[in-house]
Structure 1
Amino acid sequence: MTVLGTAALALAGLALFVLGVALGHGAARRQREHAADSDGARALAQALHTAALAAAPLRAGLTPDTARKAARRLRPQLGTPALALTDDTAVLAWDGAADHHRAQLAQRLAQPPRTRAFPLSCDDAGCPVRWGVLVPLAADGDAPGALAVFAAAESGTLLRATEEAARRLSLELELAGLDRARASAHEAEVRALRAQISPHFVYNSLASIASFVRTDPERARELLQEFADFTRYSFRRDGDFTTLAEELRSIEQYLELARARFGRRLKVTLRIAPEVLPVTLPFLCLQPLVENALKHGLEETVERSNVTITAEDEGTEARVVIEDDGVGMEPERLRAILRGTAGPATGIGLSNVDRRLRQVYGDDHGLVIETGVGAGTKITLRVPKFRPGVQAPPP
């Protein structure tokens, strides 16, 4: 091989070596950049998680207890010597040092709510607090309180961090307000259902019980117990949800009282799959539907009425069907009932149950009603076996 050929081979080898080094450095740089991006993403996720944990107690509202818990979690996150949460008139919680500045902070709450940075005067030479920032919390168009953060010196970074933290706290207060509004609306709907428990049903039940007092005292005692258990369940206060087993037990008590009045005119058939009995559903969800079946099956005709209640397992859902062979109704009247435009005393139970099912499980879980004049009525509802946040109280 010539000298020229040897040199060429040497140069080619050197070029390959340099290229390899360059490629190696490029790969290493990309790996470092990827690691930096991953570290940044993890740090951001951790910061968001920490902020959520700090603000979480305010989901229950702004009280001294929730403010204390939130302040204790939030101060280490912001890295300040002192932090306070207030309502619109007083300091609810102070976490950290220098709580002798409470009075100065309370004085500033009398001023219109807006972000304020201010110096603090103190005779204590060792006090770690010389500057503070006060950021109002916002909820439902109001300023129910404020977040105050203190430091040894003025800091624009701390000011921005405090504003971000206040926004997170405000979000939890907004959610707390929505929770209260939803709970109030649900309670109002349940009160409407309780009020709809027909006074005629109560009167007729007591009249039926009275009719057995002399002729069959034991039967009167059993019916009185059923009436007491039914009303106790219907007017209970604990929880928005119940189990299918408890709801069916209440319906059996209701039907037992109805049988005492209607006798042979009423025939009820129950087909219940045992595996769906633990399924959770909204409280007082089925009783209004059964009352509707009896009303259209018996109270508007003189013929015998058949009512069938079926509960079946359908994989991830429980399917409940309540069917009667009564007078039925026109489809337009049914639509008016579900819209809530059929009158204050008509169909409150149907529209109420339909609305609550849609609120809890979504629009695809509303009532499905098949009816026609003289064709009876068939009401079907499907309830998911599991839904986060839907839980019956312990028995």
Structure 2
Amino acid sequence: MRGSAILATAVLIIWALVYSITQLLVTPALPMLPTVGIGVLLSVGVVLGYPSAMRGPRGAMRIGGRPRRSGIPGALPGDQSSIRDLAGRSVPLRKGLTPDAARRTCELLRPMITGDAISITDTENILAYVGPGSDHHRDGEPMYTSAAPRAISRGKTQVVSDAAGLSCREPNCELTGAVIAPLRIGTRIVGSLGVYQTQAQMPPKQLVEDMASMLSMHLEMADLDREKQLATHARLDALRAQINPHFLFNILNTIASKARTRPEEARELLLRLSEFFRYAVRQEGHFAEFAQEYFFVRTYISLEQARFDDRLQVRYDIDPQVLTSRVPVLTIQPLVENAVKHGIAAKPDGGTVRLKARVDPLTRTTTIRVSDDGVGIDPQVLSQLFSSNGGTGGEGPVGAGVEHAGVGLRNISERLDSLFGDRYDLSISTPKSGGTVVELTVPLR
């Protein structure tokens, strides 16, 4: 309010002076239009210049007395919020310690911290260097100073206040000091963050260490993301490998039996079998359109129906809106395979498998329901399917008869965890009428 009152007073004084000079002191008095124009121009000049006048000359806060940051002696006002600003931004190193990410991070940090040059290295080479000295501190080349390797080898921040301490291999290097802190992933040192000086004031050691800690946290998250992606790829490969060899042998036997009596049907089955394995092996990425997964399921069903004949019936209830939504690859077919192998195949008279899919635009989810009227799942098996060792051993109904189903369902569940976190739902139930119902709900993509 005080600043606004000063500005308003200044504008009133300007208009009073303009009126007095143009209307009272000048003879004859100026016309109204020039008088108003002069007043407006002077008022605009005062309003625009007022913030700069209040701030004072540029650089005044860097030369005069500096308020000290609590806990960090000598910290500059601009440094006080640097860590907070960095925490609230998307840091390029979040994608990993790469040359491109390092350069963009240096360019991000340079305005946020007092220092003439910023450098990020790995354990051997300079990944990025921005500022004076870039003519010989080049990206991709070995570190030119001995201070950065010391920070990495000792695992401690190095504060150097003279050129001799830096020990740059370039005799005419203009750098005169530096603060260099190691970057870590866990307890492993993976590089360094260096702030170098030619003329600017040396930044506080604690500030550079805080910056390095923040960057280390982003590197740890990038490392975790990479491990998570590798685990997700491994689970997808496991699902591909789980295509039951018995299924292949049974289909080949079926084709062989039809080769003499029904050669055209045998040829058609061979083509479908090749399409089945081509999709399972060559599908890239973790998501595919539901229409592609649906075609894959129908190919699988057509092969199984050639073996079971009338013992296997299938009913499809697919909302057309689902066809263009994207779902995790190789997720629906294993659920249908479990229904056929462990529900219908074990039932002497056979049965029916139903596949239902719906899109809910309100909750933005896709729901897939696979049900059968087969023999159902033993309650003991159902309670152990998602436990640490359920369905992978033991005696009776928990043994080899459901081992493949249990491992497959757990692989699907773990892969969905990696892809969606807690934003999906996978449930298994055994209705009183018999059979098994598996329902999967995933976010709409």
Q: Which interval holds the TM-score relative to the shorter structure?
A: 0.7 to 0.9
Residue of 296, 300, 324 corresponding to 2:372: 324
**Structure 1 residue 192 displacement after superposition:** 2.3
With over 3 angstroms needed to count, the CA separation of the structure-2 counterparts of 1:250 and 1:182, relative to structure 1, is same
Tell me the equivalent position of 1:69.
104
Task: Provide TM-score, normalisation by structure 1.
Answer: 0.78
1:247 to 2:293 alignment: yes
**Structure 1 residue 215 displacement after superposition:** 3.1
Tell me the equivalent position of 1:371.
430
Residue of 178, 201, 208 corresponding to 2:247: 201
1:59 to 2:94 alignment: yes
CA distance in 2, matches of 1:332, 1:258: 28
1:264 to 2:310 alignment: yes
Q: Deviations over 1:134-179 (max 9, x none)?
A: 1111213321111111112584535344323322321221111111
CA distance in 2, matches of 1:124, 1:327: 80
**Structure 1 residue 28 displacement after superposition:** 5.4
Contact 2:152 2:189 survives alignment (8 Å): no
CA distance in 1, matches of 2:244, 2:5: 78
Contact 1:242 1:280 survives alignment (8 Å): yes
With over 3 angstroms needed to count, the CA separation of the structure-2 counterparts of 1:208 and 1:162, relative to structure 1, is same
Tell me the equivalent position of 2:441.
382
Tell me the equivalent position of 1:4.
none
Tell me the equivalent position of 2:35.
none
Contact 2:114 2:203 survives alignment (8 Å): no
Amino acid of the residue matched to residue 428 of structure 2? I
CA distance in 1, matches of 2:353, 2:298: 12
Contact 1:89 1:110 survives alignment (8 Å): no
**Structure 1 residue 218 displacement after superposition:** 3.1
Q: Deviations over 1:99-143 (max 9, x none)?
A: 436422464356311111113236989744110111111213321
Contact 1:320 1:380 survives alignment (8 Å): yes
Structure 1 residue runs of 5 or longer lacking an equivalent are: 1-23, 30-35, 387-395
**Structure 1 residue 75 displacement after superposition:** 3.0
Residue of 122, 128, 145 corresponding to 1:104: 145
CA distance in 2, matches of 1:127, 1:103: 10
Tell me the equivalent position of 1:114.
156
Tell me the equivalent position of 1:390.
none
User: Superposition pairs for residues 101-180 of structure 1, below 5 Å?
Assistant: 102-105=143-146, 107-108=149-150, 111-118=153-160, 119-121=162-164, 127-152=173-198, 155-180=201-226
Amino acid of the residue matched to residue 157 of structure 2? T
Tell me the equivalent position of 2:23.
none
**Structure 1 residue 203 displacement after superposition:** 1.3
CA distance in 1, matches of 2:289, 2:83: 39
CA distance in 2, matches of 1:266, 1:230: 19
User: Superposition pairs for residues 279-298 of structure 1, below 5 Å?
Assistant: 279-298=325-344
CA distance in 1, matches of 2:429, 2:438: 6
Contact 2:151 2:182 survives alignment (8 Å): no
1:192 to 2:235 alignment: no
**Structure 1 residue 270 displacement after superposition:** 0.6
User: 1:197 is paired with a residue of what secondary structure?
Assistant: coil
CA distance in 2, matches of 1:362, 1:356: 9
With over 3 angstroms needed to count, the CA separation of the structure-2 counterparts of 1:25 and 1:161, relative to structure 1, is closer
User: 1:103 is paired with a residue of what secondary structure?
Assistant: coil
CA distance in 2, matches of 1:51, 1:87: 25
Amino acid of the residue matched to residue 116 of structure 2? P
**Structure 1 residue 46 displacement after superposition:** 11
* Percent identity for Structure 1 against Structure 2: 36
Residue of 85, 95, 110 corresponding to 1:48: 85
* Structure possessing the higher relative contact order (Cα contacts under 8 Å, 6 or more residues apart): 1
Contact 2:150 2:158 survives alignment (8 Å): no
Structure 2 residue runs of 5 or longer lacking an equivalent are: 7-54, 56-76, 138-142, 393-402
User: 1:380 is paired with a residue of what secondary structure?
Assistant: strand
Amino acid of the residue matched to residue 113 of structure 1? G
CA distance in 2, matches of 1:179, 1:237: 22
Q: Deviations over 1:191-223 (max 9, x none)?
A: 222222111011112222333333333323322
1:333 to 2:418 alignment: no
Task: Provide TM-score, normalisation by structure 2.
Answer: 0.70
Bigger Rg, which one: 2
CA distance in 2, matches of 1:61, 1:363: 25
CA distance in 2, matches of 1:123, 1:142: 28
Contact 1:328 1:375 survives alignment (8 Å): yes
Contact 1:267 1:306 survives alignment (8 Å): yes
User: 1:157 is paired with a residue of what secondary structure?
Assistant: coil
Contact 1:308 1:324 survives alignment (8 Å): yes
1:232 to 2:278 alignment: yes
User: 1:300 is paired with a residue of what secondary structure?
Assistant: coil
